[in-house]
Each structure stands twice: as C-alpha cells, then as structure tokens.
Amino acid sequence: MENVTVISHPLVQHSLTRLRDAGTPSGEFRRLVGEVATLMLYEATRELAVAPQSVRTPVARARGTRLASQGVLVPIMRAGLGMLEPMLQLIPGARVGFVGLKRDEETLRAITYHESLPRSTMQFEVFVLDPMLATGGSANAALDLVKARGARAVRLIHLLAAPEGIRAVHAKHPGTQIFTAAIDQKLNNRGYIVPGLGDAGDRIFSE
C-alpha cells in the first residue's frame, strides 16, 4: 500500500508474536510494546532533517550532524502511553503532546475527552503513537487536532493496522505516512483487528 511502511525486521516480528500471544503476562507485554515502538521509531525517523555540527573528540575535531528538529510525540491515550517513554529515551529532546480519545462502542466513533498539544506544531515533525489502527477513527481525530495546530508533516506509528483503518486515514488525510509492524486481515463486527492482539490498553495496564 502507498504511504504505508511495514517494518519486517526480525526483532520487531519476534516481539510482535509475543505480543499477540494471549498468554504473555502484562509486565512482559508492556515491555515488548516499548521495545517494538523504539525499533519502529528508527524507521519512522529515517528522513528527519539534520544540520551539520562539528565537535572535538579526545583526539581532534570531527564533523557530524545533529537533529534540526527533535519533533513532537503525541500518544493517543491511553494505550499510546505505553509507547511514549521508550521513544523519549531515544529522542529525549522531543516535545510531547497528549490526545485522549475513547471509542463509542455502538457507533465506533472516536470521542475526544482530552487535548494537550504544543501551541503550534508548524515547525515540527509530528509522530502520533497508538498501538492499533483499527477503524481509523482515533487516528483521524488525532490528525485533525494536530493539523489544526499547524502540523504539516505527521507520521502515524502503530504496532498493528487493519486495511479498513488504513483506507479511512488515507481517504481523510491523503499522503499520511503510516508505519506498522503488520497489516492484519480485517476488522470484526465490534471493530477489533483480526487476528490482532486484543485490547492493547487493557493488556498494558493489567485490566
């Protein structure tokens, strides 16, 4: 699919299999979410702008680069919180915004209950974090919010995606880059990804 990157690295796929396993305990599940998210961030940040920088080593001066922008990480609460801290260890200078969304189980529409974003995101690369891209409702709602703050370059990072969710995002926000560890078969009649890994939020937070 265009503008979709499936990260097939062996370490990502190994950890994803453990995440899918219903027998994986919550503590390990939480750790694996962080591991996969960090590995995926390497790919999602591949095209970040850099600027030249010169430093002095213990021997001589060396030419190098630095990030021109640290970017903004925006987890969709609550499950996206499980991806945030490991990513901040990789990019400690990143700004952080939060979007709280819950799904109406009857209509499957995303309802915003919290928004805390930088006043302007125009000059930043924005990464929206959520383990699951299912119907696309939450992703589209988050994209609406960050673009309302001026964001031009937004990437979505998900552990799993459903074809329906990818189509929904690209129908409303064409050109949005999506990074995922797998594209699963479909959604069931409750809007859950099949085969998926269950409710990521519940499994992260032991409910």
pLDDT-wise least confident of 1-15, 16-30, 106-120, 171-185: 106-120
List the end-to-end C-alpha distance of the chain, in Å, as a whole number.
Answer: 34
Is residue 199 annotated as a catalytic residue, yes or no?
A: yes
Q: Is 180 a catalytic residue?
A: no
Q: Among residues 95, 103, 109, 149, which one is catalytic?
A: 103
4: pLDDT confidence band, cut at 50, 70 and 90? very high
Instruction: Identify the burial level of 110 via C-beta atoms within 10 angstroms of its C-beta, where 0-12 means exposed, 13-18 middle and 19 or more buried.
Output: buried
Predicted confidence band at 48 (pLDDT cuts at 50, 70, 90)? confident
C-alpha distances in angstroms, 121 versus 3, 36, 61, 147?
Answer: 22, 26, 35, 8
Please report the pLDDT score of residue 160 as a whole number: 95
* Residue-level pLDDT at 118: 76
Banded model confidence at residue 6, pLDDT cuts 50, 70, 90 = very high
- Out of 20, 109, 112, 199, pick the active-site residue: 199
- Assess whether 46 carries a catalytic annotation: no
pLDDT (tens digit per residue) in 55-83: 999 999 999 998 887 688 999 988 888 89
Residue 97's Cβ-count burial label (10 Å; 0-12, 13-18, 19+) is buried
Percent above pLDDT 70 for the chain: 97
Per-residue pLDDT of 76-130, as tens digits, reads 988 888 899 888 888 888 889 888 877 776 666 777 878 888 777 777 789 999 9
Per-residue pLDDT at 108: 63
Active-site residue, from 17, 65, 107, 167: 107
Strand residue runs (E) in 8-166: 50-56, 61-67, 72-77, 95-96, 98-103, 110-116, 125-129, 132-133, 153-158, 160-161
Cβ–Cβ under 8 Å, residues 89 and 38: yes
pLDDT, residue 207, reads 57
Whether the predicted pLDDT of 27 surpasses 60: yes
Look up 144 and say whether it is catalytic: no
Predicted pLDDT at 54: 94
**Confidence label for 28 from pLDDT (cuts 50, 70 and 90):** very high
